[in-house]
Amino acid sequence: MASIAALDEKTGRKFYLDDPDDLKPGEKLTFILNLHGGGSVGAWQRAYFPAVDYKDKYRLVIATPSAATKEPARRWVGEADDEHLHNIVDYVFDKYGPENIKSFWLAGHSQGGMTSNRLLRDDPFFQDRVDGWLSLSGGRMGPAERAPGFGPPLPPGQTMNMPRPAPGGPPTCDFSFIYTTGEHEIVALPQSSPWAEKYGAGPRERRPDIVDTEAGQIYDTGRQEFSTKGWGLLPRPGTAEVYVYPNGKDGRVVADVVRLDKGHTEGLEPRVTEELIKLMVSASGGKARTATKASAQAE
């Protein structure tokens, strides 16, 4: 496995970096910046969404960092984390060459998905570069209503509200969007998508279900004694429903994937992981190359 603990020299922070074992000079790659949820770390996220298992087959480079803020729980907040994420993107572009990054995706679980939303809404650096966002139980463009009582299970007498995306409307920049969720996290999946309508995509089409005979790799080990279906139980095989809005403008992909009988924290099974990656690599790309070229000309 071609994996290293790469160093952000500007901040002194390390992050996981995975690329194909047989990478050739000048090869075109899909870049995924893989963000964990609140209270988690990069190592957990790397197992929750194990894109690394498909880096050779689909020619991926995957950066998986950890947030700096640890209290009251590790979360992506503040300028220090944003700077680190900027530096990681610059590191990857410099290492592989911007001309070789054919597509750049944000993938974020839970609060990592909300952070992806914020970056795409408020940060020109990411607005100019990101070709797609994979929301891993991290919010939907055209929201899906949360299941009643959804949130992390707590000992008796304690309460906590799950964080929600900051107000301000949807991002105004262009990108492909894939939403995946556990069935028990939401009331129901909407039958339409404002994001698909934005790109003139057709009515949603249901693709064949994805049937996994193997379990995912990770789960919330700290709450299993009192966890719920909505939050997530032990990893196990499963089935996922796949809905795609076809023929989006300029090759953009919009899709919803619902993992049946699953919750918020059960790691993704191998076949549904691969299906998500296939959708990602099928989408259009190239914003990163254009932004980097424009930046170089400005200098």
Per-domain residue ranges for the chain? 3-144+169-298
Asked whether residue 294 carries a pLDDT value surpassing 80, the answer given is no
**What is the per-residue pLDDT for 293?**
59
Can you tell me the distance from the alpha carbon of 206 to that of 180, in angstroms, rounded to the nearest whole number?
14
Task: Give the pLDDT confidence of 45-98 residue by residue, as tens digits.
Answer: 999 999 999 999 999 999 999 999 777 778 999 899 999 999 999 999 999 999
Q: Cβ contacts of residue 212 below 8 Å, gap of 6+?
A: 237, 238, 239, 240, 269, 270, 271, 272
Provide the b/e sequence for 200-234 (b: ≥16 CB within 10 Å).
Answer: ebeebeeeeebebeebbbbbbeebeeebbbbbbbe
What pLDDT digit, counting tens, does each position of 122-159 carry? Answer: 999 999 999 999 999 999 999 999 999 888 887 666 65
Helix, strand, or coil (residue 214): coil
Please name the residue that has the structure tokens 């993107």: 89
Residue type at 19? D
Average pLDDT, integer, range 240-262: 98
Q: Per-residue pLDDT for 217 more than 80?
A: yes
Predicted confidence at residue 205, as pLDDT, reads: 98
pLDDT number for residue 224: 87
Q: What percent of the chain has pLDDT over 70?
A: 92
Q: pLDDT band at residue 225, thresholds of 50, 70 and 90?
A: confident
CA triple 37-273-238, angle to 5 deg: 95
Q: How far is CA 90 from CA 84, 97, 103, 227, in A?
A: 10, 10, 14, 39
pLDDT score for 270: 98
Per-residue pLDDT, averaged over 280-288, amounts to: 93
Q: Are 218 and 270 in contact (CB under 8 A)?
A: no
pLDDT of residue 4: 80
**In the prediction, which pLDDT does 61 show?**
98
Query: What's the pLDDT at 163?
Result: 53
What the block records as the tokens of 47 is: 């197992």
Give the per-residue pLDDT at 257. Answer: 98
At 1, the pLDDT band (50, 70, 90 cuts) reads: very low
129/131 Cα distance (integer angstroms): 7
CB neighbours of residue 156 within 10 Å? 5
Structure tokens at 232: 């997530």
Query: Which residue stretches of the chain are H helix?
Result: 42-48, 55-58, 78-96, 111-122, 124-127, 194-198, 270-282, 287-298
CATH 1.20.950 holds for 3-144+169-298: no
